[in-house]
Structure 1
Amino acid sequence: MTSDNNFEIFLSTLPGLEPALCEEVRLKGFRQPKAVPGGVVTLGGWPEVWRANLWIRGAGRVLARLASFRAVHLAQLDDRARRVPWGSVLRPDVPFRVEASCAGSRIYHSGAAAERVEAAIRGTLGAPCSAEAGIVVRVRIEHDLCTVSVDTSGELLHKRGYKEAVNRAPMRETMAALFLRQCGYDGGEPVLDPMCGSGTFVIEAAEIAARLNPGRARHFAFEHLASFDAEAWQRMRAVRSGRTPAFRFYGSDRDAGAVAMSRANAERAGVSDFTEFRQATISEAVPPEGPAGLVIVNPPYGTRIGDRKALTPLYRALGQSLMSRFSGWRVGIVTSEPGLAHATGLPFLPPGPPVPHGGLRVSLYRTGPLA
């Protein structure tokens, strides 16, 4: 860590979504963001770490990079780890744990690496180590280069603090936010999801339009670090950026339980005044009054060949409804199956890169405004 106000901050995301996250980080005013495998690196100090957790929609977690050094054997790792200024980051009264990973390095045993760093922290700081600790020090040894970070988020950032009810295979809010961004959505148009499930796309779109910070309703691991300034954090959180959106956001689902779930989640998120959910099938989907916007949908994909064949009529019906009624609207469809996407008959642009989701790899298929 070069200084308290100029160190590397790493924001993680799923492989394939790094450019979209980098664009978000850049637009939120963070310094020199750069997409790297698995996330985005930017520079800043602790206020930027807090702000990233509070503001950034697409990141899974925010890591503060504490040190980086070469280590080719465990004794060297032990020695270098004892030189890290742990007392400026960790508190001696707060338990911690260490998670390590090794790749292509002479130190290849991640468990032994974690034990050495644990011993270094205990020996120099006296903090207790616990397998259940909320403070996680992450050690990554890749090609003999050891990077030591502290996870400042705690629970993954898609846990916004409002979604109690979820359906099967829910899409994470962080992923939904980046797919919305890839569709060109910036909060300035209506959004409709005709298979809304637990309401993730609709609620995320409404929050973006209302300028509500994604981390406003939760706590973070950094609140238990030595570097934490409670007064400065309260001032940061107290800034009111919200506004009333110019449009409404719509979700429908054939399942009454999903509609009830979406309404409850929207209520807890504080966006129920400008979201609408109703029970309807795909063939009953109609555009709301007003200007065209974005239809975004995460249909079922099926994991077996038979499932995929059975789903073809659903995708065909979705495409027919959109082509016949949603002139001027853009469409985004998330699916693991190119064949199902093309069964819609929609005029897709080249698809986005595959992204891991629920054991599958999904891609975003987008259109321009429909004729």
Structure 2
Amino acid sequence: MTNTQDFEIFLATAPGLEPVLHDEVRFKGFKQPKQVPGGVTIRGGWPVVWRANLWVRGAGRVLARIASFRVVHLAQLDDLAHRVPWADVLRPDVPFRVEASCAGSRIYHSGAAAQRIETAIRDTLGAPSSPEAAVVVMARIENDLCTISIDTSGEPLHKRGYKEAVNAAPMRETMASLFLRQCGFDGSEPVLDPMCGSGTFVIEAAEIAARLNPGRARAFAFELLATFDAEAWQTMRAVKSARVPACRFYGSDRDAGAVEMSRANAARAGVSEFTEFRQATISEIVPPEGPPGLVIANPPYGNRLGDSKKLAPLYQAFGQTLMTRFKGWRIGLIANEARLAHMTGLPFLPNGPPVPHGGLRVALYQTAPLA
């Protein structure tokens, strides 16, 4: 498998956000993006894999599909797994581990399937297997079709490399970036998050506006593969796309600790210059000077951080403050209960499908510019 060979690459996201990720991938110029359940597929060689990890904000991980074959029993899997050219992709000196899943197939024991593939790699390549290995070979056997992929990301891609401090119930950066995109945010307008927590929405918005690559400050599993070209990767990373945003990005929170946390995270991300954080309650927020933009918030949820009845005053104050003071601004609200969202009294547009988040299902509620 050479660096110029064309193969399928899968970019994973939360179910329900596939159309938004597809929009981002197409916008960033990747070849043949196709929306599929759980993500988006593109085609390309290994440099495209590196670029996807470096550039794409909304993907949770990037998988390189290296083999696919029909299989109906374990002996057949054993034979076919031995024929995969593992040495083209994996290194004999780097530990690996295998994760397998089975659905609707005559092979139904995922542990046994993983064991057969692990043995085939050890036999043909000589690489050691380890449950803690950073290189993960993923096998999915669905309707008797076995697809073998390499997880090229390693740590999930929402771990951008700057956030040391997080608060309770954090929004993942990958999901936050897709919600921003869903709200029509392209970096050209101010963003305000009045319940900023650890600053995720504000920092993502500032990075988008500053054209900073989301993967610029972290390592990836593909750096441990036989296909990795360190010189070509350094050249790719060195391309400067950054610019100074035309506007600023604002966060506030009633908790002083959250404000300090956000400032520290913004400093590590290199966006302090474009962001402002202050301590304020919902009823104290006012629009910053300048043109209107987007208010986006991920308030506490009823069945995660407290009783939803206790949260009613917070949602009501949120809606009242925005309706009174934020004329011309669009609103994006993440909520797990329609009832709570509508307590704001905001004129929401029809919302999209719910999305899994932290064991719950949440939806993005949006408005047009407030009249």
Question: What residue in structure 1 maps to residue 123 of structure 2?
Answer: 123
Pair 1:275-2:275 in alignment: yes
Quick check: 2:3–2:227 contact (8 Å CA) kept in 1?
A: no
Question: What residue in structure 1 maps to residue 234 of structure 2?
Answer: 234
Quote how far apart the aligned CAs of 1:119 are.
0.7
Unpaired stretches in structure 1, ≥5 consecutive residues: none
Q: Check 1:305–1:91 CA distance in 2 against 1; reply closer, same or farther (3 A cut).
A: closer
Show CA shifts across 1:29-48 (max 9, x none): 00111111111100010000
Q: Check 1:84–1:3 CA distance in 2 against 1; reply closer, same or farther (3 A cut).
A: farther
Where 1:226 maps in the other structure, the secondary structure is: coil
- Distance, in Å, in 1 between the alignment partners of 2:285 and 2:298 is 15
User: How well do the aligned residues superpose, as a CA RMSD in angstroms?
Assistant: 1.2
Quick check: 2:104–2:144 contact (8 Å CA) kept in 1?
A: yes
In the comparison of the two structures, how many residue pairs are matched? 371
Quote how far apart the aligned CAs of 1:5 are.
2.4
Show CA shifts across 1:132-177 (max 9, x none): 1100000000010100000000000000000000000100000000
Q: Which shifted more, 218-227 or 296-305?
A: 296-305
- Distance, in Å, in 1 between the alignment partners of 2:359 and 2:233 is 37
Question: What residue in structure 2 maps to residue 360 of structure 1?
Answer: 360
Amino acid at match of 1:222: F
Quote how far apart the aligned CAs of 1:301 are.
1.2
Amino acid at match of 1:115: Q
- Distance, in Å, in 1 between the alignment partners of 2:352 and 2:294 is 17
Q: Which shifted more, 300-309 or 55-64?
A: 300-309
- Distance, in Å, in 1 between the alignment partners of 2:87 and 2:347 is 57
- Distance, in Å, in 2 between the alignment partners of 1:359 and 1:54 is 28
- Distance, in Å, in 2 between the alignment partners of 1:314 and 1:135 is 45
- Distance, in Å, in 1 between the alignment partners of 2:53 and 2:337 is 33
- Distance, in Å, in 2 between the alignment partners of 1:9 and 1:136 is 15
Give percent identity, aligned residues only.
79
Quote how far apart the aligned CAs of 1:302 are.
1.4
Instruction: Show the 5 A alignment for 1:320-335.
Output: 320-335=320-335
Amino acid at match of 1:105: S
- Distance, in Å, in 1 between the alignment partners of 2:316 and 2:5 is 54
Unpaired stretches in structure 2, ≥5 consecutive residues: none
Where 2:33 maps in the other structure, the secondary structure is: strand
Pair 1:79-2:71 in alignment: no
Question: What residue in structure 2 maps to residue 164 of structure 1?
Answer: 164
Quick check: 2:22–2:40 contact (8 Å CA) kept in 1?
A: yes
- Distance, in Å, in 1 between the alignment partners of 2:262 and 2:187 is 19
Quote how far apart the aligned CAs of 1:310 are.
1.2
- Distance, in Å, in 2 between the alignment partners of 1:356 and 1:108 is 26
Show CA shifts across 1:215-272 (max 9, x none): 0000000001000000000000000000000000000000000000000000000000
Quote how far apart the aligned CAs of 1:350 are.
0.6
Instruction: Show the 5 A alignment for 1:99-138.
Output: 99-138=99-138
Where 1:257 maps in the other structure, the secondary structure is: helix
Question: What residue in structure 1 maps to residue 176 of structure 2?
Answer: 176
Q: Check 1:295–1:303 CA distance in 2 against 1; reply closer, same or farther (3 A cut).
A: same
Amino acid at match of 1:62: V
Quick check: 2:194–2:285 contact (8 Å CA) kept in 1?
A: yes
- Distance, in Å, in 1 between the alignment partners of 2:352 and 2:185 is 15
- Distance, in Å, in 2 between the alignment partners of 1:294 and 1:306 is 27
